[in-house]
Amino acid sequence: MMFILVDKDTILPYNGEVLKRFIGKRLVKTISNPTDEQLAEFGFLELVEDEIPEYDVDTQYLSYEYILQDGKIHKKFTVNENETDSNTEDIADIGENIAEN
């Protein structure tokens, strides 16, 4: 399947529409069942999902963005650390304090 890269967060798949090529306002080409090569002429690219890196689900999370690399759209994953608020107590600590009292 071929896609258009809109921005780093968005891709759009080819939706089966008839492709039309214009020169100025004049229609010069219509393609009703395009091949991948013809879709590429209209800016559609192959999607490659990069390998998902290992991460600790308790302390980290994955995010991704789409990037253009080697003439293909890559779904690039990034491991991020969970943000914690240093002013709040851990729920387990609260539970232990209640049990002690």
Tens-of-pLDDT digits for all 101 residues of the chain?
999 999 999 999 999 999 999 999 999 999 999 999 999 999 999 999 899 999 999 999 999 999 999 999 999 999 999 987 654 555 556 556 565 65
Q: Is-above-0.85 flag for pTM? A: no
CA angle 98, 99, 101 (to 5 degrees): 65
| Per-residue confidence (pLDDT) for residue 86, from 0 to 100 | 53
Q: Which residue has the tokens 């306002």?
A: 25
